[in-house]
Structure 1
Amino acid sequence: MRSAVRRRAITAGTSLAVVAGLCLATATSSSASTSPAPSAGSSSDRLYIDVAGTAAQAAASRTGQARADALAMANQPTARWFTKGTPAEVRASVDAYVSSAAADGSVPVLVAYDLPFRDCSQYSAGGAADTAAYAAWIDAMAAGIGHRKATVILEPDGLGIIPFNTDINGNAEWCQPAEADPATAVANRYAQFNHAVDSFKKNAATKVYLDAGNTNWLSVGDITDRLIKAGVQRADGWFVNSSNYGPTDQSAKYSSWISQCLDLVTNAGYQPAWCASQYYPASPGDFSTWALTDAAYATAYANANRTPDPATMKHGVIDTSRNGKGYWTPPAGKYSDAETWCNPPGRGLGDLPTLSTGDAYVDALLWIKIPGESDGKCYRGTGGPTDPERGIEDPDAGQWFDQLARELVQNAKVALPTPTCKVTQVTSKAWHGAFVSSVVVKNTGKTAIKGWKLTFAFSGTQKAKADLGAKITQGGQVVTATSVPLTSTIAPGRSIAFGYLGTGADAGLNPAVHVLNGQACA
């Protein structure tokens, strides 16, 4: 037994010795470059790529085309959903996630999804037991963020689906769960939202956006009325098209109308019910008519002797994760309930996530829904268990769906960016609770990289210990390797290498996603 352990120690030392030699050789050859160093970006203009998210996990556990599709989505900034757990658990999870983004110097997007009677106890049923439990959970999530930068997407569908609600026209809505009290359900929902807004906004660096549905749902006046009651004036705005497929231009138009309706209601004595919308004077199914609603707002502002100033108004963000092909139009007469929102076929990835939209009414384009995750088991009015549009049984909501992922990548609206770096990581199998990992980073771009951080995530409870050629730090599953003087410059076409020792019997597969200075590598 001692001899076996000794051989293992020699192997580990030899691996790091090879890394050391490669570090020295590549650092020497790259230092002659005089190409300008690219900016690593800053937390004010870059969204966080979740190296430990569900897309990264899917890529790590797959091969071939399925792996490539998952990796294509994992290499883009996506939101992290927080949907359950005790206050202590969610605080720790949020802290670890936001810490990883802070170390990377980018902005994390978090989805808070734990309202009582979430999704009216349908596909995504669950949530906190009551208002007090929800408030404690939200406070813990806010504490996990602390004073760091973050963007919070507050409760998808939370204002679109309210138990025992009556819409702006006085019509009773369909969500009436037996467990809810009809006398208090609506007031409770708004109290929950207002508490969440105030809790998150104690940190000025946290941006908070409330649910505004999508263009096929509530009218502008109806959602504006709900946003006001939910405390939008103290938040940063709203999000549109979460987990949906509406085209970006339609969502942007809809969001601009909410902004103007809110401004008129707040500052010009308007009533939400007076606000023009996608339903009037426009026709919802004919985007060419939406200019009529633009004109209606222009008239309303003229009558109010007021000029819209987007710089002083609330704005929206848009989920573009799956809207590259817009809404799905099902075959006429084929289904009694086509469930157009549920894993529709032939959809594509939409515009890439960005904080620079060029639209004064839109703060960001985000991938709120994780593309590649199933919407649930879709029966389209049949008895199931298969999805008649696909001929297979769809995965449960939130589970990875290889067929859906393939369609989204194949039909993407824009070309996915080509990485300008390549990472090769080789990790030994664990032996007596220890393993060795060597990492080679190649600059495939045209400018030198001067100073770098590389992040990736372990698959379990592994811990990085000794390092060589880089400074290794770790928070939760996420590992950050920072350059040292010997390896700090990587000239175009050149590589550097570093290594580390790790502990953990479950070393598993090598990480699928590596992010260098905020940009995903091949």
Structure 2
Amino acid sequence: MKYSFSLAAFAAFVAANPTPTLDKKDGTLSVAACASAVTIAPGSNPFASRTLHANSAYASEIAAAMANVTDATIQAQGAEVAKVGTFLWIDTIARVPLVTTMMQETPCTDIVGIVIYDLPGRDCAAKASNGELKTGELAKYKSDYIDPIVTAIKAAPNVAVALIIEPDSLPNLVTNANLTTCSSSASDYQNGVAYALKNLNLPNVAMYIDAGHGGWLGWDANLQPGADMLTKVYKAAGSPKQVFGVSTNVAGWNAFSASPGEFAGASDAKYNKCQDEKRYINAISPLIKKDGMPAHAIMDTGRNAVQGLRQAWGDWCNVNGAGFGVRPTSTTGDPLFDAFVWVKPGGESDGTSDPTADRYDSFCGKPDAFSPAPQAGQWNEAYFEMLLKNAVPQFT
């Protein structure tokens, strides 16, 4: 399957990647791949010499939205967002062919970011992003989802790839094991993540296992169990050498560094010393490393420009007043952080605010959640424009 581009999307893509060639016959793009196979050395920083790829899928989504906007400033700022490197979520089997598209369009200067996100019983502690596979369909996850992704990446050994492995999955097993939906998914989660890690352990790939965020596993009672869960699955996968560490704050709102911290004044703050992601990673990394797993991190800064917006640390849905955060960079100021990256595509909803809708989650109806909002993954133009307005740094 080949991805189709609108002219506007193609223009945005060309602006972000000056060397693509348009195939006039089928409308696909090709770029200058590396002349030889890419090897990302374990222990290195895979982002240090590469730019996070501005993928065509997000650029196309923005271009389609901007076609319905009359404000020239918003149009121009939207075009700039399309040039920012952003991870692509492969959250259904139907989207797996996009991996091949990403491989074909990524130049040698870039590293393409992909989120692996389709476990059986996905999103076991919430409703907004429930997946297509039911608990017990692990064999289908392996054969129809992971295996074709492996094939697509193997077919493009000259392309550097960064993978985030199954956001929220292992953290849910640490803190939500009391929920039937999570306890029944535990085996599929652990075996599915281990299978992904083992089979995606390719020389041109850097993998980061999702570790939630400081407001989740950063609590004193959760740090060691969280580290134990991560290293348990890592070892079950055979300690794959292309695991570089963890991802944090995926689709989240926490600050990298904030003093005293957004919830430092809460009555239970004494039980969580990880008041920002810097403190969280510096607290959990030694626990992970002690058990033999690489302990570097990448952090999602896509929507965390504004702090103090949430009523509670666990409020995760379409936080009102948010803004685009620091652009992707390997200059983080902390040796444990390989990069700040954009993971959640700004403008795509976290979940619907309509209480009568299928997959409605009460977190999306909270006072600090933006309303109205469509179903998870669908475009919300008003929210996108809010992210632009509140961006730090601003888009000009």
TM over 0.5: yes
Among 118, 130, 146, the residue aligned to 1:138: 146
Q: Aligned equivalents of 1:241 and 1:391: distance in 2?
A: 19
Distance 1:266 1:48, change over 3 A: closer
Q: Aligned equivalents of 2:313 and 2:334: distance in 1?
A: 34
Among 102, 105, 121, the residue aligned to 1:100: 105
Asked whether the equivalents of residues 247 and 327 of structure 1 are also in contact (C-alpha less than 8 Å), the reply is no
Among 117, 123, 126, the residue aligned to 1:119: 123
Q: Aligned equivalents of 1:94 and 1:174: distance in 2?
A: 36
Which aligned segments of 4 or more residues in structure 1 are displaced greater than 4 angstroms?
379-392
Which residue of the partner structure matches residue 150 of structure 1? 161
| Partner SS for 2:169 | coil
Which aligned pairs between 1:509-520 and structure 2 lie closer than 5 A?
none
Distance 1:61 1:155, change over 3 A: farther
Which residue of the partner structure matches residue 41 of structure 2? none
Which residue of the partner structure matches residue 282 of structure 1? none
Which residue of the partner structure matches residue 212 of structure 2? 213
The Cα shift of 1:66 comes to: 4.7
Which residue of the partner structure matches residue 301 of structure 2? 320
Deviations 1:55-106 (A, max 9, x none): 34433443325534533422211111111125xx62x32111121013x631
| Partner SS for 2:225 | helix
Which residue of the partner structure matches residue 495 of structure 1? none
Asked whether the equivalents of residues 324 and 349 of structure 1 are also in contact (C-alpha less than 8 Å), the reply is yes
- Relative contact order, higher structure (CA 8 A, sep 6+): 1
Deviations 1:26-80 (A, max 9, x none): xxxxxxxxxxxxxxxx993211112332334433443325534533422211111
Distance 1:359 1:95, change over 3 A: same
Asked whether the equivalents of residues 320 and 370 of structure 2 are also in contact (C-alpha less than 8 Å), the reply is no
Which aligned pairs between 1:420-499 and structure 2 lie closer than 5 A?
none
Distance 1:390 1:82, change over 3 A: closer
The Cα shift of 1:339 comes to: 7.0
Q: Residue 46 of structure 1 aligns to which amino acid in structure 2?
A: T
| Partner SS for 1:231 | helix
Q: Aligned equivalents of 1:189 and 1:73: distance in 2?
A: 34
Which residue of the partner structure matches residue 160 of structure 1? 171
Which residue of the partner structure matches residue 30 of structure 2? none
Which residue of the partner structure matches residue 489 of structure 1? none
Among 355, 370, 383, the residue aligned to 2:330: 355
Distance 1:127 1:256, change over 3 A: farther
Asked whether the equivalents of residues 239 and 317 of structure 1 are also in contact (C-alpha less than 8 Å), the reply is yes
Which residue of the partner structure matches residue 75 of structure 2? 67
Among 398, 403, 407, the residue aligned to 2:386: 407
Which residue of the partner structure matches residue 288 of structure 1? none
Which residue of the partner structure matches residue 44 of structure 2? none
| TM-score after normalising by structure 1 | 0.54
Aligned length: 309
Distance 1:214 1:392, change over 3 A: closer
Which residue of the partner structure matches residue 348 of structure 2? 373
Asked whether the equivalents of residues 351 and 361 of structure 2 are also in contact (C-alpha less than 8 Å), the reply is no
Unpaired segments of 5 or more residues in structure 1? Answer: 1-41, 268-312, 331-336, 419-522
Asked whether the equivalents of residues 208 and 246 of structure 2 are also in contact (C-alpha less than 8 Å), the reply is yes
Deviations 1:445-467 (A, max 9, x none): xxxxxxxxxxxxxxxxxxxxxxx
Asked whether the equivalents of residues 347 and 383 of structure 2 are also in contact (C-alpha less than 8 Å), the reply is yes
The Cα shift of 1:116 comes to: 0.4
Deviations 1:209-238 (A, max 9, x none): 111001111232122111112217431111
Deviations 1:470-501 (A, max 9, x none): xxxxxxxxxxxxxxxxxxxxxxxxxxxxxxxx
The Cα shift of 1:316 comes to: 0.7
Report the structure, 1 or 2, having the larger strand content. 1
Asked whether the equivalents of residues 93 and 144 of structure 1 are also in contact (C-alpha less than 8 Å), the reply is no
Q: Aligned equivalents of 2:308 and 2:229: distance in 1?
A: 25
The Cα shift of 1:190 comes to: 1.0
The reply on whether 1:238 has 2:246 as its aligned counterpart is yes
Q: Aligned equivalents of 1:348 and 1:248: distance in 2?
A: 14
Q: Aligned equivalents of 2:102 and 2:227: distance in 1?
A: 32
Q: Residue 380 of structure 2 aligns to which amino acid in structure 1?
A: F
| Partner SS for 2:199 | helix
Which aligned pairs between 1:197-208 and structure 2 lie closer than 5 A?
197-201=197-201, 203-208=202-207
Which residue of the partner structure matches residue 229 of structure 1? 232
Q: Residue 336 of structure 2 aligns to which amino acid in structure 1?
A: Y
Deviations 1:97-154 (A, max 9, x none): 121013x631110011110011126101114341111112112112112223100111
Which residue of the partner structure matches residue 51 of structure 1? 56
Q: Residue 157 of structure 1 aligns to which amino acid in structure 2?
A: D
Q: Which region of structure 1 is more displaced relative to structure 2, 239-248 or 399-408?
A: 399-408
Q: Residue 359 of structure 1 aligns to which amino acid in structure 2?
A: D
Q: Residue 135 of structure 1 aligns to which amino acid in structure 2?
A: K
Q: Which region of structure 1 is more displaced relative to structure 2, 108-117 or 350-359?
A: 350-359
Asked whether the equivalents of residues 349 and 380 of structure 2 are also in contact (C-alpha less than 8 Å), the reply is yes
Report the identity percentage.
Answer: 27
Pick the structure with greater CA Rg: 1
Unpaired segments of 5 or more residues in structure 2? Answer: 1-46, 258-275
Distance 1:231 1:245, change over 3 A: same
Asked whether the equivalents of residues 70 and 372 of structure 1 are also in contact (C-alpha less than 8 Å), the reply is no
The Cα shift of 1:192 comes to: 0.7
| TM-score after normalising by structure 2 | 0.70
Q: Aligned equivalents of 2:51 and 2:364: distance in 1?
A: 42
| Partner SS for 1:107 | strand
Name the Cα RMSD after superposition: 3.1
Q: Aligned equivalents of 2:189 and 2:361: distance in 1?
A: 33
